[in-house]
């Protein structure tokens, strides 16, 4: 690494520290910029042009760097050059207009209806078990994100109307229906919650009475899956994916699913049509006379 490159990187990382970036983010920036310096092969940052950056991305892609990592790397390089341009160390940003290679789009990890029934089967009546069932019934019933679940307050749920008010991404509120099973689980949890809670607002609390943390929700869901013999990797977002795919399979109403998930764009919701197609394809293979294997 040339002295000029090293000094520029150090100045940029110092700038990020003053803006209170996390140690993890700083480490990632340092790693991505070290890659840039290595690929520059002794040239100063200000000497690189758009063609060089495009070639560097192709080199990293050829080394097997994943598309998501390439996107992060390009973002780090772009921000680095923004900093250099503001400090008159680069005439232009060679990363402007460049996009990383597209990676394979993964389908959401949804459980089957039978797996969801197995996961949510009630077999314990301890306060924490009742809380867990209420949390996971509600996530599956209403398609909640993990952050939305832990942010719920007592007044977020209207048991009489069967609705939950959710504060989603971008601080946007939406109202989502709550199913019968989730309402029953919430009614079973609330008396235990009143006895346990030290937080006057939080709907879901931990063993010590404070609002439950996202990591604890994740931990309890893994425990529940293990307890009930669900032999798949189950994470909180899988319940949201399961909600979306099951409602879409039953109703075919993509717009309604979009509204309930709180997606700003219909294109974000359309990924679930692939899951729906997989379901239909399976039905077709089993039912169509010309599709059945002899």
**Catalytic residue numbers?**
145, 169, 237, 240, 263, 272
Q: How many helices (H) and strands (E) does the chain have?
A: 13, 3
Q: Residue 5, CB half-sphere, CA atoms under 13 Å: how many?
A: 20
- Whether residue 103 contacts residue 56, with contact meaning beta carbons closer than 8 Å, is answered with no
Quote the strand ranges of the chain, DSSP E: 157-158, 163-167, 173-177
Cα torsion angle, 233, 234, 240, 244, sign? positive
DSSP state of 170: G
Please report where in the chains the tokens 């990632």 appear, as a residue. Answer: 28
Q: Are 197 and 180 in contact (CB under 8 A)?
A: no
**Burial bucket for residue 204 (CB in 10 Å: 0-12, 13-18, 19+):** buried
173-182 burial, b at 16+ Cβ within 10 Å, e below that, comes to: eeebebeebb
Question: β-strand 163-167 against 157-158: which pairing, if any?
Answer: antiparallel
d(CA 259, CA 176): 8
Six token digits for residue 74: 């390009």
């Amino acid at each position: 690494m040339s002295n000029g490159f090293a000094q520029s990187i150090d100045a940029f990382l110092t700038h990020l520290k003053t803006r209170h970036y996390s140690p993890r983010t700083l480490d990632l920036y340092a790693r991505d910029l070290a890659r840039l310096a290595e690929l520059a092969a002794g040239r100063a940052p200000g000497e690189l042009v758009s063609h060089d950056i495009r070639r560097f991305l192709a080199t990293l892609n050829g080394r097997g760097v994943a598309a998501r990592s390439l996107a992060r790397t390009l973002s780090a390089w772009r921000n680095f050059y923004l900093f250099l341009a503001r400090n008159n160390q680069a005439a232009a940003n060679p990363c402007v207009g460049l996009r990383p290679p597209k990676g394979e789009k993964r389908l959401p990890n949804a459980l089957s209806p039978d797996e969801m029934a197995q996961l949510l089967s009630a077999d314990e009546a301890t306060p924490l078990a009742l809380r867990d069932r209420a949390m996971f019934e509600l996530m599956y019933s209403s398609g909640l994100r993990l952050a939305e679940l832990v942010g719920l307050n007592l007044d977020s749920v209207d048991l009489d109307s069967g609705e939950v008010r959710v504060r989603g991404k971008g601080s946007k509120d939406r109202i989502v229906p709550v199913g019968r099973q989730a309402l029953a689980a919430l009614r079973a949890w609330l008396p235990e919650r009143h006895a346990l809670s030290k937080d006057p607002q939080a709907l879901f609390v931990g063993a010590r009475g404070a609002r439950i943390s996202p990591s604890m929700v994740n931990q309890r869901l893994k425990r529940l899956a293990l307890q009930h013999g669900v032999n798949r990797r189950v994470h909180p977002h899988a319940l949201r994916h399961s909600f979306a795919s099951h409602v879409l399979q039953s109703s075919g109403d993509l717009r309604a699913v979009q509204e309930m998930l709180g997606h700003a764009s219909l294109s974000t919701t359309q990924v679930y049509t692939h899951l729906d197609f997989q379901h239909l394809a399976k039905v077709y293979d089993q039912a169509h006379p010309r599709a059945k294997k002899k």
